Structure 1
Amino acid sequence: MTDPAPDIDGRHPADVVTAMVDHVLDLAETWPRWDLLPIQVPVEGEPPRVYTPHKALRRVADHLLDHLAETEARLAGRPTEPDRWHGSMVTTASDLALFTHDDLDEAKSRLHRLALIWEIRLRSLTDQQLDEPAGQSWTLRQVAFHVADSAFYADAIGALAR
């Protein structure tokens, strides 16, 4: 990883990931009120990033999936698949679609299942496994805290007023 290592604290990493998902879904409860206007978020030294409810949820799910695959590969002693996500730089046509209650229901199912997989995996690991360095890579504890930073995408949308 070339990014600075995420800050960690005394919370169990499974709690950190599940709390992030709960936070994202709490915000998403308000998104069926979205007015279809993408939200621009300034990024230092780069063009502003565009966010919509669909894009925020896609980015959270992609981040959970990407680092889950990394975690599983590392634990299996296999090389990780390189990250080829377009990330926040791309806004797809589907990102711009109306966000409905059905979309919210689907997002809840998807993110709750991903959070459950993370919780099961992280709680199965010892502190030694969570904190074991892996070359230049972050520890698995740091990876989990990094994943929790995915709340950024939902926070970019925020809670939408009535």
Structure 2
Amino acid sequence: MPENSNPGEVVVAGVERILALARTWLVWDGRPRLAEDGARLYTPHKAIRRHTHHLVDHLAEIEALLDDRPSRPDEWRGSFVTLAGDWAPFTEPDLNEAEQCLRRLADVYVHRLAAAGPDEWDKHRDPHWTLRFICEHVGEPWYAEQVGDLGC
């Protein structure tokens, strides 16, 4: 992505990739998928939940960085816990909920980064990442890729 482009657009692209994969999960057979690291299991609901939490976590970090305040410490249990709800079938209403939530979160990234302006996007705030790098990080659809394309 060009350096003068809003970094939030990377988040939008990642969300669209996640949703493209999620559209194939309506046929999920109930078996979890082992992540590429061999240490964690993923189901459709868990992938959506983890990505949503990832977006929320880093959005809060961006807000704290822009306000020059410390961000809330990371106390998520993350991918190492699979919740009871993660095992539920993934249905069309679940897909609709994911589309509505993830697209709105992606929009918030675009709008917030636009409001912050280009001078803030690559500003170094050691030991923290730049806002652009945060967007590149959360724009990766890694959790959804662990479930994969079930339409093949």
TM-score (norm 1): 0.88
Q: Supply the RMSD in Å over aligned alpha carbons.
A: 1.5
Q: Mean Cα displacement is larger for which, 9-18 or 66-75?
A: 9-18
Q: Distance in 2 between matches of 1:89 and 1:30?
A: 24
Match of 2:132 in 1: 141
> CA offsets per residue over residues 101-132 of structure 1, 9 Å max, x none?
11111111110110111110112232221111
Match of 1:37 in 2: 31
Match of 2:18 in 1: 24
> CA offsets per residue over residues 55-99 of structure 1, 9 Å max, x none?
000011001000000001111122100111111111111111111
Q: Percent identity?
A: 44
Q: Secondary structure at the match of 2:129?
A: coil
Q: Secondary structure at the match of 1:134?
A: coil
CA drift of 1:152 comes to: 0.6
Match of 1:54 in 2: 45
Query: Which amino acid in structure 2 is aligned with residue 83 of structure 1?
Result: D
Q: Distance in 2 between matches of 1:20 and 1:64?
A: 11
Match of 2:72 in 1: 81
- Which contiguous aligned blocks of 4+ residues in structure 1 show a shift greater than 3 angstroms? 8-12
Is residue 110 from structure 1 mapped to residue 101 from structure 2 by the alignment? yes
TM-score (norm 2): 0.93
Q: Distance in 2 between matches of 1:111 and 1:28?
A: 12
**Structure with a larger share of its residues in strand:** 1
CA drift of 1:147 comes to: 0.8
Q: Distance in 2 between matches of 1:76 and 1:48?
A: 37
CA drift of 1:9 comes to: 6.1
Is residue 152 from structure 1 mapped to residue 142 from structure 2 by the alignment? yes
Count, aligned residues:
151
